[in-house]
């Protein structure tokens, strides 16, 4: 059973109907999970970026990025934690609300943080309800396939769209570490089973993180719902990157799957130094910045 019944799924579009495209299309209304499934039917790929505040979210909305994930990567990228594990539901709710306020078109997905859904479906529903009601997200994401099935089912039955996260699941860093998942027959079969279970439970999409490209391609072919790859090769229906990585804000060496599209950290350091030198040297403010 998929979450979107045939009766509610828009008729498949022609491949050349670019006005309906998720990226670069003409629609100004907010993107929905039904649009993502329709895009897979059209064979259209789409981008997703993380965002953690209203200003950055508004930039990505202006750029036309159709889906924004308020990822629990905010732990490492925004809140100064070492991992995603300490992120709380209060933090997630506050930053998700900011991202929703900063956007008018993107579908905003809020991550369920570690400890906010593992106890069982009722806890998951309580946590997801906060993200939907208080923050206004259009969907939530949780980690795990078969191990989170009951949670996914109850959320979907309750009207909350769910994105599953498989492969490397950073909330399990203490047991799993950070390494490619799904290598070897047994692990690969488990990942395919997890993906099919997530789809059967009603998930509208599956994130595949750090998975061999061939396996991600097989999962993508075998599902009706879209796969969103991060370090999972080019065959996935969509691709996601953590925005601080692709914008060059994250310090240090980037993982191999990151492509850096800007060098914002160097630009910001240089701008902050220029401002500081102007202040110390007395060349800012100038007459044009001054009121009399």
Q: Which residues are annotated as a binding site for 3-methyl-2-oxobutanoate?
A: 72-73, 111, 141
Rounded to a whole number of angstroms, the minimum distance from the CB of residue 206 to ligand KIV is: 11
176 CB-near residues (< 8 Å, 6+ apart): 168, 169
Nearest distance in Å: CB 71, ligand KIV: 2
Residue from the set 25, 66, 71, 212 that interacts with ligand KIV by CB under 6 A = 71
Residue whose CB is nearest to ligand KIV in the complex, by number: 71
Using DSSP's 3-state secondary structure scheme, residue 241 falls into: strand
Contacts with ligand KIV, 241-280, as mask; x by CB under 6 A: -x--------------------------------------
The yes or no reply on residue 226 touching ligand KIV (CB under 6 A) is no
Dihedrals phi, psi of 140, to nearest 5 degrees: -125, 160
d(CA 114, CA 142) in angstroms, rounded, equals 9
| Under rule CB under 6 A, residue 73 binds ligand KIV | yes
Q: What CA–CA distance (Å, rounded) separates 98 from 81?
A: 20
Contacts of 265 (CB under 8 A, 6+ apart): 248, 249, 250, 251
Site for ligand KIV contains 240 (CB under 6 A): yes
Our finding on whether 111 is near ligand KIV (CB under 6 A) is yes
Cβ atoms of residues 168 and 179 within 8 Å: yes
Euclidean distance between CA atoms 183 and 197, whole angstroms: 19
Which window, 17-25, 64-72, 183-191, 268-276, contacts ligand KIV (CB under 6 A)? 64-72
How does strand 139-143 pair with strand 238-241?
unpaired
- Least spacing, CB of residue 91 vs ligand KIV, in Å: 13
Give the closest residue to 49 by CA, choosing from 86, 102, 89. Answer: 102
209 is a catalytic site residue: yes
Q: From the candidates 153, 199, 209, 218, which is the catalytic residue? A: 209
> Interface mask (CB under 6 A) for ligand KIV, residues 156-195, using x and -?
---------x------------------------------
Q: Which residue from 33, 207, 238, 247 is in contact with ligand KIV, where contact means CB under 6 A? A: 207
In whole angstroms, give the CA distance from residue 204 to residue 190.
20
Selected range binding ligand KIV among 24-32, 70-78, 114-122, 123-131, rule: CB under 6 A:
70-78
- Report the residue number, 121 or 231, with the smaller CB distance to ligand KIV: 231
Alpha helices for 68-165 (secondary structure H): 74-77, 89-101, 121-130, 149-157
Residue 267, number of CB atoms within 10 A of its CB? 13
Q: What residues are annotated to the active site?
A: 209
Q: Which residues bind ligand KIV (CB under 6 A)?
A: 50, 69, 71-73, 111, 165, 207, 209, 230, 240, 242
């Amino acid at each position: 059973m998929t979450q979107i019944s045939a009766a509610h799924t828009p008729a498949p579009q022609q491949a050349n109907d670019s006005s309906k495209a998720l990226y670069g299309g003409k629609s100004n209304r907010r993107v929905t999970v039904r649009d993502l499934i329709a895009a897979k039917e059209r064979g259209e790929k789409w981008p997703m970026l993380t965002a953690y505040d209203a200003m950055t979210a508004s930039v990505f909305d202006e750029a036309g990025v159709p889906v924004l994930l308020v990822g629990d990567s905010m732990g490492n990228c925004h809140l100064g934690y070492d991992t995603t594990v300490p992120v709380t539901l209060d933090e997630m709710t506050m930053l998700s609300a900011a991202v929703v306020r900063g956007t008018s078109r993107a579908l905003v997905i809020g991550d369920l943080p570690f400890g906010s859904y593992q106890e069982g479906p009722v806890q998951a529903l309580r946590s997801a309800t906060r993200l939907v009601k208080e923050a206004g997200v259009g969907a939530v994401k949780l980690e795990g396939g078969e191990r989170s099935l009951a949670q996914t089912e109850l959320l979907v039955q309750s009207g909350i769209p769910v994105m599953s996260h498989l492969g490397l699941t950073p909330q399990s860093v203490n047991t799993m570490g950070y390494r490619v998942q799904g290598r070897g027959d047994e692990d690969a079969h488990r990942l395919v089973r997890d993906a099919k279970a997530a789809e059967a439970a009603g998930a509208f999409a599956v994130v595949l993180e750090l998975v061999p490209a061939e396996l991600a391609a097989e999962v993508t072919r075998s599902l009706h719902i879209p796969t969103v790859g991060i370090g999972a090769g080019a065959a996935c229906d969509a691709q996601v990157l953590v925005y601080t990585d692709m914008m060059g804000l994250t310090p240090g060496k980037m993982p191999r799957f990151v492509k850096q599209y800007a060098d914002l950290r160097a630009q910001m350091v240089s701008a902050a130094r220029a401002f500081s030198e102007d202040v110390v040297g007395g060349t800012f403010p100038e007459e044009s910045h001054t009121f009399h």
